[in-house]
Amino acid sequence: MTDRTPTSDSAPADIASAVAITGPARHPGPEEIIPPGVVPELPEKEPDAFLAPLLEPFEGARLEDSHGQEVLRLDRSRLLEFARAAKDAGFESCADVTAVDWYRHRRVRFDLVVNLLSRRHRRRLRVAVAIPGDDPRVDSIVSVWPGASYGEREVYDMFGIVFDGSPDPSRILMPDDWVGHPLRKDFGVGSVPVQFKDSHKVT
Amino acid sequence: MAPVPGLITTSVNKAASWARTRSMFPATFGLACCAIEMMATGTANYDLARFGMEVFRASPRQADLMIVAGRVSQKMAPVLRQVYDQMPDPKWVISMGACASSGGMFNNYALVQGVDQVVPVDIYVPGCPPGPQGLMHGILNLHDKIMSGEIAS
Amino acid sequence: MTDTRQGAETPETEVIEVWAAGTEVPLFDPTDEGTQEIADHESEARLDEQFGRVVTDDYFEEAEPGGEERTIINMGPQHPSTHGVLRLQLELEGEVVRRTRPIIGYLHTGMEKTSETLTFLQGPTNVTRMDYLAPMHNELAYSLAVERLLDIEVPARADAIRVLMTELNRISSHLIAIATNGMDIGAISMMLYGFRERELILDFFEKTTGLRMNHNYIRPGGVAADLAPGWRQDVTDILDTLPGRLAGYDDLLENNPIWLERTHDVGIITAEECDAYSITGPTLRAAGVPWDLRKAFPYSGIDQYEFDIPVGKNGDVYDRYRMRMDEIDQSIRICRQVVETMPKGDYRVADRKVTPPPRARIDESMEALIHHFKIFTEGFKVPAGETYVAVESPRGELGCYLVSVGEAKPWRQHTRAPSFYNLQALPIMMADSLVADTVASIASLDPIMGDVDR
């Protein structure tokens, strides 16, 4: 079962008309979701001879095509299993671990994106795992690719996604006692308003 | 000969300032891109050695000029302050580049917006990064200020 | 526990309280998107973990039997040889390094967060400062990602200019790597030589792009300006001067017994370890793997030029230094081919919604004026999508993961930084080696902290 926002035909296509329907402009509460259409919807793709045996045991997985690159949507409970299978299939290294915060654009808040590289077969595969905002936990893939350790620490530091079984769950970029996760959309940029010398108001 | 007031002390001041400016040892505090331009200033094409400054002391205890070259993050700020505190008097600080002077183009949570929030700065050198000529102009300005007595220490 | 005065580090919990803005109540109103709250599931236990009070990594707790004495010393973040603000905690047994823990984050600039506030045209100014020794590569990865989302192809001349600039940048970056490598190991004159050669290339960059570093030249749609007149002579002069100078480096280092002693069989890393830790670039090639993104996943028409990929044997410091020298030779070869075959044409894509019109047109055409205005104030909108583009930077695989939701600013921009992942090689390289080899290992890995911390 994949966590995907169900597309609804009756939902309006753009945000402006959505607001017009619901009434005068007001600040949307955290439980309201801006209607779909903003999060990129990727077309599905058939796995080729190399990926088909790898993807067979994962029934709910959906392979998508993103500008010529392959993106696999996977359920978070099967991430570790898939990681082991992928490593056996030929993806020797995990190039990158990162995350995207969809905040109110989608019901499931985070996407963990694992970028796999197979040197032998000259292919890349991006695995996107949806992670809910109220329970941001996922298995750590460090046991499969030790090099993912830094990437996972950065994702924890910046997004607050906790990796179960990670050998080193500490913060990596921010100071150790920093409160908050900077790359979340509800963490402001933190810009200091510019004050001009002779003006009496702060712009 | 009538005694001229301040003859001995002014001369000693002038002599001390002259000695300080002619052999100022910078402490290595290169952080980011500006550090590369600082290194380029020290090497053959722009040659800080003609001002007696090519020796970048690694230990702050032996340095008297701290050129903060680069962006100072929140994690680095206490380290910056500690290195500054370890330098013996007289000491000067040049804030090199836009990020050190004001936070530069990164007006966000991660950087200290201007290193003068952490240490007192004598000269600000603008640029992103300032070329070696800009940095040298800043250094020579500092020398002038010390020689004229405007900055005591 | 011995604490060394060189680059002393304060106990962070004491002093950070004053500085960490995240612990205070913000002085300005929170943004429209709400305040950062600690949700219910973040219990005290989690906060303890986050604050580092729970040591789950047994780094310091393991007690070695047999009465061996281990001391932990701290190297950095302010240190002349750590190539920037890298802090290393070394667990020493006598003179032998047993374990290493790199601590990074001292140059964290929040660039990925800043990317979300800048338009796609302003993006290169931000990303160019990540790997500040190879700014063209950062800009190239970002621009390629934006162009892929926009589904546009840049003209052949723009591609050729990009290849020329990135290869010259590779030469200048490797020159600094060799210069600092030499200086750290003791050949201090290498520093002067490397920077002297680099100045030749920086002069050319200044003539073409306006800046010596952090150029903001490669932009989505092409490049910012055409090559300056007389560029052929300038580049040929550089390419003719370099081989003689490189021969001079060989004279200094190649047969020098001190250099060979300090670099052979030091800091070894094998190909399997490189794969497991996702280490790319000269380090991977020195370990014997002929993997180069310019050949594997070619971009910007680089496959039309002939060049080889140098490969090493042992994966030690000497091999990595040799890789860099050989890669400079190959880059010279590519640049010569670009000079000979530079196509004529436009240096940026003709789509007026993406690239600004020429300045002269703004006086004549209302449409040009409006396009110029919209591009530079609001920015052009990029269709919703996500993509990952990787280029071969002097340090390895430099990738840009870009997510757009159809607005003029990216929703998420992440840079896969080569130095970030390459740093994981340090504990492996330095395990059971001498303290004196630490500096050689770090220098040969050539980490750039701007890339590591972003």
**pLDDT for residue C62:** 47
Cβ atoms of C381 and A62 within 8 Å: the answer is no
Contact residues, C window 5-24, toward B, CB-based 8 Å cutoff: 5-6, 8-10, 12, 15-16, 18-22
**pLDDT for residue C42:** 52
Rg (CA), chain C: 24
Whether chain C has a CB inside 8 Å of the CB on B40: the answer is: yes
**pLDDT for residue A170:** 85
Residues of A in contact with C406 (CB under 8 A): 38
Cα–Cα distance, B134 to B69 (Å, whole number): 13
Q: In what order do the strands lie in the sheet with A123-131?
A: A62-66, A69-74, A123-131, A110-118, A93-101
Nearest beta carbon to residue B74 from set A175, A187, A191: A175
Dump pLDDT digits (tens) for C358-403: 777 778 888 888 888 888 888 888 888 899 999 999 999 999 999 9
Dump pLDDT digits (tens) for C63-120: 444 446 788 888 877 777 657 888 888 888 888 888 888 889 899 998 999 999 999 9
**pLDDT for residue C10:** 41
Burial of C354 (0-12, 13-18, 19+ CB in 10 A): buried
**pLDDT for residue A11:** 41
Cα–Cα distance, A77 to C394 (Å, whole number): 38
**pLDDT for residue C11:** 42
**pLDDT for residue C50:** 58
Inter-chain contacts counted by CB atoms under 8 A, chains A and C = 175
* Statement: residue B2 has pLDDT above 70: no
Cβ atoms of C273 and C285 within 8 Å: the answer is no
Residues 6+ apart with CB under 8 A from C324: C174, C177, C178, C282, C394, C446
* Whether ipTM exceeds 0.90: no
By C-alpha distance, the chain C residue nearest B76 is: C106
| B36/C79 touch (CB, cutoff 8 Å), yes or no | no
By C-alpha distance, the chain C residue nearest B35 is: C84
By C-alpha distance, the chain B residue nearest A175 is: B75
For the segment A176-200, the average pLDDT, to the nearest whole number, is 78
- The pLDDT-based confidence of A185 (bands split at 50, 70, 90) is confident
| C195/B45 touch (CB, cutoff 8 Å), yes or no | yes
| B74/A187 touch (CB, cutoff 8 Å), yes or no | no
**pLDDT for residue C293:** 92
For the segment C194-210, the average pLDDT, to the nearest whole number, is 92
The larger pLDDT score, comparing residue C242 to residue A199, is at C242
**Which residues sit opposite B27 in a β-bridge?**
B57, B66
Dump pLDDT digits (tens) for C122-140: 999 999 999 999 999 999 9
Tokens of C358: 């020429």
Cβ atoms of B49 and B25 within 8 Å: the answer is no
**pLDDT for residue A18:** 38
| A174/B107 touch (CB, cutoff 8 Å), yes or no | no
Kindly report the number of other CB atoms within 10 A of residue B5's CB atom.
8
Cβ atoms of C397 and C418 within 8 Å: the answer is yes
Compute the C-alpha angle C337/C338/C340, nearest 5°.
Answer: 65
* Chain mean position to CA B52: 14
Interface of B with A (CB under 8 A): 74-75, 103, 107-110, 113
Residues of C in contact with A167 (CB under 8 A): 56-57
Taken as a whole, chain A contains a residue count of 203
| A171/C52 touch (CB, cutoff 8 Å), yes or no | yes
Cα–Cα distance, C81 to C104 (Å, whole number): 15
Chain B neighbours (≥3 Cβ pairs under 8 A) are A, C
Query: In angstroms, what CA-CA distances link C343 with C13, C140, C147, C165, C233?
Result: 59, 19, 21, 15, 16
Dump pLDDT digits (tens) for B58-104: 788 888 899 999 999 988 898 899 899 989 888 899 999 999 998 88
**pLDDT for residue C39:** 52
Dump pLDDT digits (tens) for B32-67: 889 899 888 888 888 888 888 877 877 888 888 999
Residues of B in contact with C198 (CB under 8 A): 40
Average model confidence (pLDDT) across chain C: 83
Whether chain C has a CB inside 8 Å of the CB on B55: the answer is: no
Cα–Cα distance, C387 to A43 (Å, whole number): 14
Residues of A in contact with C403 (CB under 8 A): 40, 100
Contact residues, C window 102-131, toward B, CB-based 8 Å cutoff: 105-111, 113-114, 125-126, 129
Nearest beta carbon to residue B129 from set C108, C196, C214: C214
Average model confidence (pLDDT) across chain B: 86
Question: What is the percent of chain A where pLDDT is above 90?
Answer: 27
**pLDDT for residue B30:** 86
- The pLDDT-based confidence of C305 (bands split at 50, 70, 90) is very high
- Among residues C160, C157, C233, C234, the alpha carbon closest in space to that of C201 is found at C234
Nearest beta carbon to residue B58 from set C80, C84, C198: C80
| C12/A176 touch (CB, cutoff 8 Å), yes or no | yes
| Minimal C-alpha gap between A173 and chain C (Å) | 4
Cα–Cα distance, C77 to C452 (Å, whole number): 14
